[in-house]
Structure 1
Amino acid sequence: MTRMILATAAAFALLGAGQAVAFQQPVDTVAADKAPADASPVAEKQPDGTTPEERANTARLNAAQASQAKAEVTTYEQEVAAAKQQVAHDQAVFAEETAAYEAEKARVAAMSAEERLKWEADAAACKAGDMTRCAAPATPPR
C-alpha cells in the first residue's frame, strides 16, 4: 500500500512538472524476477530514459509544431507586406489629393487676383470719369 501511495505521489509530481508520459502500475520486483527468460521487453529504453516510440512521438510533435510555426511566419510576412503596400497606396493617394488641393488653391488665388485687378482698373476708370465702368448704384432696401 505504501508503494502505491509513493508511486501515485511521484506520478502527480511528474504531472505537475509536465513530464509524465503515462502513469503505470508499479511492477513487483519479485514477480519480474520470475518472468520467463525469453520474454523480450516492450521497448528498449535509450540512455536518456526514452523509448523509440517516445522519440518518434517527440519528432512527430516537433515537426508539426515547426510546420505550424512556418505557416504562421508566412502568414505574418504576408500581412506585413500587405500593410506596407497599403501604407504606400495611402501615401500616394494623400500626395495626389494634396496636389489637387494645392492646384485648386492656386487657381482660386489667381482668379481672385485677376478679378481684383479688373475691379481696381474699373474703379480707377470710374473715378477718371468713364461712367460705363462704374458699378451700378446700390438700391436701398425696402
Structure 2
Amino acid sequence: MSRKILMAAAALALIGSGHAMAFQAEPEAPAAVEASPDTAKPDGTKSDGTTPEERSNTARLNAEQASRSKAENVTYEQEVSAVAQQTAADQARFAEETAAYEAEKARVAAMSAEERMQWEADVAACRAGDVSRCAKPAVPQPQP
C-alpha cells in the first residue's frame, strides 16, 4: 500500500515541477521525418522535449524511489520472516501442550480403569461372601 502512495507522490512531484511531458504520449512525427528519442537539439533538449536538467531530476527521483522500494522490500521480508518464526513457535508450543494434555488424559483414563477393575473385583468378592471387601455403609451426616 505504501509503495502505491510513494509512486503517486513521485508522480505528483514530477507533474508539479513541470514534468508532465513524461506522462503524456509522444506526438507522432511526420512520416518523412523520423525523430529519434536520443537525438539532442543544440540547446540540450531531446526530441521528447526533456532538458538535461529534467532528465537529471528524473534519474535522481527514480534512484530515490528505487532506494525506498528496496528498503521497503527488506522491511517486508523481515516482517514475513518474523511472522513465519512466530507461527512455527506457536505451532510447536501447541503441539507440546496437546501432547501433554493427551498424556494426562491417558494417565487419568488408566487410573480410572484400574480403580474400576479394583471396584468390580471387590463387588464380586463381596457377593461371593468376602465381607471384608464389601463397602462400608455410609454414615448419615447430622443435619444442622
Taking the aligned partners of 2:92 and 2:107, their CA distance within structure 1 comes to 23
Q: Which residues of structure 1 form unaligned runs of 5+?
A: 1-14, 23-42
Return 5+ residue gaps in structure 2 as ranges. Answer: 1-11, 20-42
% of aligned pairs identical? 70
Using the TM superposition, give the Cα deviation of residue 140 of structure 1 relative to its aligned residue in structure 2, in angstroms.
Answer: 2.3
Displacement of 1:20 in angstroms is: 5.3
State the partner residue of 1:80.
80
The equivalent residue for 1:66 is 66
Match of 1:21 in 2: 18
Q: In the alignment, what sits opposite 2:120?
A: 120
Tell me by how many angstroms 1:46 deviates: 2.1
Give the TM-score normalised by structure 2: 0.67
- Note the alpha carbon deviations across 1:39-86, whole angstroms, 9 max, x for none: xxxx63222211111111111110000000011111111111111111
Q: What is the match of residue 139 of structure 1?
A: 139
CA distance in structure 2 between the aligned counterparts of 1:82 and 1:141, rounded to whole angstroms: 62
For 1:52, the aligned partner's letter is P
Give the SS at the match of 1:110. Answer: helix
User: Which of structures 1 and 2 has the bigger CA Rg?
Assistant: 1
Paired residues, number: 107
Whole-Å separation in 2 of the counterparts to 1:45 and 1:122: 108
Cα offset, 1:87, TM superposition:
1.1
